[in-house]
Amino acid sequence: MQSSVERGSAEARRPNVHRSSYVVAVLGGFIGGIALASYAVIGPMWGWLLLLIGAVCIGIRKPRCVLFGALILGGALGMWRASTVLAKPSVLWDLAGDKPKVTLTGYATTDFEPTANGGRYFFRVFTVEGDTGRVRVDDRVLVLGPEWIRPRQGQIFSISGTLQRPMNIGDEFDYVAYLAKEGVHARMYYPEYGAPDDGALSRSFRWRVGVEQALAAVRARIAESIGRAVPQPMASYLAGILVGAKGLVAQDLKDAFARTGTSHILAISGYNITIIAAIVVRMLRPLGRRRAYLGAVFGIGVFVVLVGAGASVVRAAIMGLLALSAQQVGRAQSAGSALIASAAVMCAVNPMLLRWDVGFQLSFLAVLGIVYVEPLVRPCIVRVVRWEPLAALIATTTAAQVMVLPLLLYDFGTLAVYTLPANILVLPLVPLAMALGLATAVTGLLVPVAGQLIGQSAWLVAAYQLSVIRWFSALPYAALEVHISATLAGALYASLAVGLVAVYRRRVPSSTA
């Protein structure tokens, strides 16, 4: 008979696995299963095999076997979810293959964006009418049209023309999958415009579109009010960072942002929201840690509403809130679990994000860097930079850049040499520029003269930021072409992962009974 001492020593040797680890294993396996199904053709037999292996491991009832079984079961679920979405049929894709002339009724989901040959926008289709009659759908189409017809987001109308399937150009970029990730399965060039058929529009549809129209009208009024008080190109820059109106920013200015690695300032991404929210917290810190955090959360919420609360914006806000909460709580393990959980939920809603949404990938990696890399580099930076707010900004920016750099080099092949000093000199003033821009817009709508006065301050801040970016972009070797392969990018991330695990294991030794 086994003595109590022997039983106690056996329990002490048994691995201590927290219950939350099983949940994290399922979610991590789910993400891995989606990635596997996205990059390789997996038959249903492999899914059933993984389910069997996972069930057997869980049946053994040893903690590590149960943990491995949870990981395998999560992988099987992820593969099933990705395969289901990838195989989902599209009415517009099928019609585009036949190329008949059809009439689409719906509304513009984005504002008109000027291009070299006119402009483009996304159009959400509610009904399709052709030779076979009218069919109700819920799909999107990319519309390319003339420059003199500029629909606004939320505007309801009908377009008539021939649908065409998107096509890939080259082997490096899967344009078809990129559009499918956004729910776009067809294109229409230079359509004929018409009034919508009122009988085809339901009450719920009109209510949903009405909300988008109201938000679009608010954004347009804000951009117009800023334009009356602030000269160009500062006005378009302020409208771009405040309400996401990137189409107003001149192409040469966009190129300057790209050459200095500051394009994220114009983009609505988790990376951008995270950096800005962290700066807001630092600015509000004298009010108290909790009030500063709540103020930043409120600011993120207002920003999401202003720019339209689209799916990509909501994903970016979630990533930003996670990084902000991680810095507030100060526990990397809890933040890492929350990051995996949020990524799993987003991928469950749209599995195509994991492979074909670069914005999602950059946001995820940036938040990962802020959670795990920033606490490691901050002590080193504090020794050199004595002013704590500046040291925190440099640490946050450096940590995010370290994590996103391999992906940037793989996807875009451009190394912005001066990205760190440019971000340090420009980023801290982004919240101030946004606040002054919003104050200029609101005041200008109520009292135009007062808007002009406040607009001078907004102009001064924006002019400084754009001058810094243009100066760095004009320096020699500002942007170098450095393209790396997927294998090298994967090796770099594997090395980073191994290094971080080793460092954190030394910092937090495993407990022994």
513 residues of the chain, pLDDT tens digit each: 455 544 444 444 455 666 667 788 888 888 888 888 887 767 677 777 887 887 888 878 787 888 888 888 888 888 888 888 877 777 788 777 777 788 888 888 887 887 777 888 888 888 888 777 777 887 888 998 888 888 887 788 888 888 888 887 766 667 777 788 778 888 888 888 887 766 656 676 677 777 777 777 888 888 889 888 889 889 888 888 887 766 667 788 888 888 888 887 887 666 567 666 766 776 677 777 777 778 778 877 777 777 766 666 776 777 667 666 766 665 555 667 777 888 888 888 888 888 888 878 887 888 888 888 888 888 888 888 777 777 877 888 888 888 888 888 888 888 888 888 888 888 878 878 888 888 898 898 888 888 888 989 999 999 999 999 999 999 998 888 888 888 898 899 999 988 888 888 886 554 433
Q: CA dist 511 to 11, 221, 498, 499, Å? A: 14, 59, 21, 21
Residue 465 near residue 429, CB atoms below 8 Å: yes
Segments of 52-209 assigned E as strands: 101-108, 113-115, 118-130, 133-145, 156-164, 184-189, 192-194
Q: Cβ-count burial of 207 within 10 angstroms (0-12 exposed, 13-18 middle, 19+ buried)?
A: exposed
H or E element, residue 492: helix 486-507
Of 327, 416, 314, 418, nearest in space to 369 by CA: 327
How far apart are the C-alpha atoms of 240 and 263, rounded to whole Å? 11
Helix (H) or strand (E) holding 480: strand 479-481
DSSP string across 138-169: EEEEEEEE-TT----TT-EEEEEEEEE-----
Residue 192 CB coordination number (10 Å)? 10
Q: How far apart are CA 271 and CA 400, in angstroms?
A: 8
Tokens 């801290």 map to which residue? 428
CATH class of 91-201: mainly beta
d(CA 341, CA 211): 30
3-class state of residue 479 by DSSP: strand
Q: Are 358 and 412 in contact (CB under 8 A)?
A: no
